[in-house]
Amino acid sequence: MLINRQLRLKKRPEGLVQREDFDLVESSVPALSDGQALIQVLYLSMDPTNRVWMTDKPQYMPPVAIGETMRGLGLGRVVASRSKKYAEGDLVQGLVGWQNYVIASDEGTPFTRLPAQSGIPLPTLLGACGFSGMTAYYGLTDIAPVQPGETLVVSAAAGSVGSVAGQIGKIRGARVVGIAGGPEKCRYLIDELGFDAAVDYKADDWKNELAKATPDGVHVNFENVGGPVMRAVLQRMVLGGRVALCGLIAGYNSAEKPADDYSIIIVKRLIVRGFLAFDYAEPERAARDLANWVREGRIKAEETVEDGLENAPVVLNRLFDGSHRGKLLLRVGVEEG
C-alpha cells in the first residue's frame, strides 16, 4: 500500500514561512475509481505565488484554507491509471500540491501532459519550459511585446521567470538590462545569459547605474519585484512605455500596506498590464518555442534543486533571500528504473 505525505496549512505564516506553519500528514493512497489516475509527484515548483496563496489577501485564486494541502505547481508521472485522459507513464504538469501523490480525475482540474522524450531534463521542463518560462514568454510576446532596438528592463533577472524573460528579450532584438542582487548574479546575467547590462540593486549607487544602463530610457519593464526597484525603473520609462506586471515579490512577505504610486502612470502615460500564465488556455506554441530555444542553446536554463517534501516551507524562503539562481525546485519523488 502506497503512503501519501501531505503538507497541510496549519496557520497563515507571518513574514518568512516556518516549518511549524504546516502539518505533515501521512495517509494511505486510496484505490482508483474509473476516470482517475494516480500521479507520483517528482518535482515541486517553488514559486512566489505559493507565499501569496498562504495569505488571505485578495488574490487570483481562493487562498489555501487552513487544514488544506498546500497548493503548488509541480511535475509528476502517472503511475497507475483508470483514466481516459492520462495513461500510465505520462509525464504531467499542473497543480499537484505539496504532497507525494495526487489523484487526477478526468472531470477535475486538468494536468498538462508533456511530450515524451523531449530531450529536455525534467527540472528544465518545470522551469524554463514550464510555467516560469511561459510567464516570461507571454509577458514579452502578448502583454508588452518588446521590439528590436527597444530597451527592456527585467527585475529579479536571475530568477526563474526573469532569466528567461531577459533571454527572450535578446532573441527579440532588444537591449536587455537585468536587475539582480549582488555582483555574482550580475556577472552571470552578462557573461552567461548575454544581457547587455546588469544592475546590482544592493549596491549603494544602483539608481545611477540603472540610469547609465538605460541611456535611451526604458521602453518595456518586465516587473517581478515591485517596491523601490519598480519605482526606480518607472522613473526611467519613456513616455508611453509598457509594463508587463508579472509579480510584486517585494511585498509578499510583508504585512505592511503597499506604498505604490499610481501617479507615475499618468506622468509617463504608461500602459501597465497585469497577467498570469495560467490564463492562456493553449500553451502549446509557447512550450514548443521555449523547448526549441533551450535545445538550440538560445535560452540557457538553470535550476536550483533541493530535496525532501518536508523541507518545502523552508526552501520556499530562498525565493525571498536571493540565495538561489534560476528555477528553484524541490525533488519530492525519485523514479525507479
Q: Which residues bind its own copies (CB under 8 A)?
A: 57-60, 226, 230, 235, 245-248, 251, 257-276, 279
Distances (CA, A) of 64 to 97, 133, 153, 170, 270: 11, 25, 33, 37, 34
CB 27: neighbour CB atoms within 10 A?
Answer: 11
Nearer to its own copies, 63 or 182 (CB): 63
CB of 274 to its own copies, least distance (A): 4
Which of these, 275, 269, 260, lies nearest to 228 by C-alpha position? 260
Query: CB-side exposure of 26: number of CA atoms within 13 Å?
Result: 4
CB of 123 to its own copies, least distance (A): 26
Nearer to its own copies, 108 or 274 (CB): 274
CB of 60 to its own copies, least distance (A): 5
Pure H helices in 17-130: 48-53, 122-126
Nearer to its own copies, 141 or 235 (CB): 235
Nearer to its own copies, 27 or 59 (CB): 59
Nearer to its own copies, 104 or 243 (CB): 243
CB of 96 to its own copies, least distance (A): 23
301, 286 Cβ separation under 8 angstroms: no
Residue 334 CA to residue 337 CA, distance in Å, equals: 9
CB of 183 to its own copies, least distance (A): 29
How are beta strands 271-274 and 237-245 bridged, if at all?
Answer: parallel
Q: What are phi and psi of 136, to 5 degrees?
A: -60, -45
